[in-house]
Amino acid sequence: MPHNRFFAGLLVLALTVGCKAQISPSSGLTPTLIRRIDIMVRARYDLPPDATLSLGLRKPSSFADYDTLPITISDGGTSQIVNFLISHDNTKLVHLDTMNLSNDPAADINVAGRPIRGNPAAKVTVINFDDLECPFCARMNHELFPATLEHYQNQVRLIYMDYPLTQLHPWALHAAVDANCLAALNGDAYWDYVDYVHSHDGEITGQNLNLQKSFAALDRLASGEGSIYKLDQSRLDACIAKQDETGIKAEMKEGETLGIEGTPFLFVNGERIDGAVPQDQLWTVINRALRAVGEQPPAEPPAANTQQPATTGENAGSGKKAGP
């Protein structure tokens, strides 16, 4: 993300940085409110994950019912103080526009009934809006998420939501329906199906690009998972045959409300991450979320001596919606 987008968003500044909150104890705000301010400022102005936010001392302002709240935004050796206004009742934060601190849709994503990887009782939740035909999602599924769950152990849980980019990926919606048929019966069967589809997309697409053959392959895989896990096969096969897209489209609608335009798109306890980010950036965000809930992140593993090859072509970014 270009570093000039934040100050373009604020309209009056010339510095853009990311978001690692270091909060002054003199701010006079509760930890919950501090976390909400940190998340919403970062989301509103597209701050990259590795910047630092530091809240200063809350002071009276010349505006009725509002105090001044200075926030220092830093990136390496560069920093700038941005003065926000915060309402006396702690429900609004203002800088040229108003952020409603009492209503954050990203904090209320409906994950009821979704399969979970990691500790179901973890205080930090990584929600991934996923497309089963997206190569960038597949890369995160195979590499980044397993390493993340291993690193954080019982401190983090991972949940997938469906956001198939139907204009780009013709069988992604069908795959999501089949996956959810499994999820309704067994979470482990769901995850096995997701893992297989993400690692065999070329096999499912096929050389002839025959969409009906892709659908049939997805259905066979889902039905096969039912046999492996000894599920109610008649119920599973009926669900696969019905191809009810209602639940998937409800999640897609929720994603649109949240401003999602491509996959993968993550939320870590409400903090947004757009695209297939490197491991260190995801872990920076998770560490911040852990500290916000009073938990200490694990020690970082020693750096490897091997040099990673440059990422080019398809793997360089995230999948995006097709144009209108």
- Rounded to whole angstroms, the Cα distance separating 131 from 173 reads 8
% residues pLDDT > 90 (the chain): 64
Q: Do 59 and 173 sit in the same domain of this protein?
A: no
pTM above 0.85, yes or no: no
Q: Please state whether 192 falls in left (phi above 0), alpha (psi between -120 and 50) or beta.
A: alpha
* Band (96; pLDDT cuts 50, 70, 90): low
Provide the domain limits for residue 24: 5-103
Residue 210 lies in a domain: yes
Which pLDDT belongs to residue 1?
Answer: 39
Domain boundary among 199, 228, 257: 257
Domain boundary among 257, 273, 294: 257
Q: Do 98 and 137 sit in the same domain of this protein?
A: no
Please return the burial class of 9, using the count of CB atoms within 10 Å of its CB with bins 0-12, 13-18 and 19+: middle
Count of domains observed in the chain: 2
Mean pLDDT of 146-155: 97
Which pLDDT belongs to residue 314?
Answer: 39
- The four Cα atoms 185, 246, 271, 124 give a dihedral, to 10 degrees, of -20
Mean pLDDT of 5-9: 42
Look up residue 283 and give its two tokens: 């872990």
Domain boundary among 50, 79, 103: 103
Query: 45 or 168: whose pLDDT is higher?
Result: 168
Residue (of 120, 150, 158, 115) closest to 269 by Cα position: 158
Mean pLDDT of 23-38: 74
Q: Do 28 and 161 sit in the same domain of this protein?
A: no
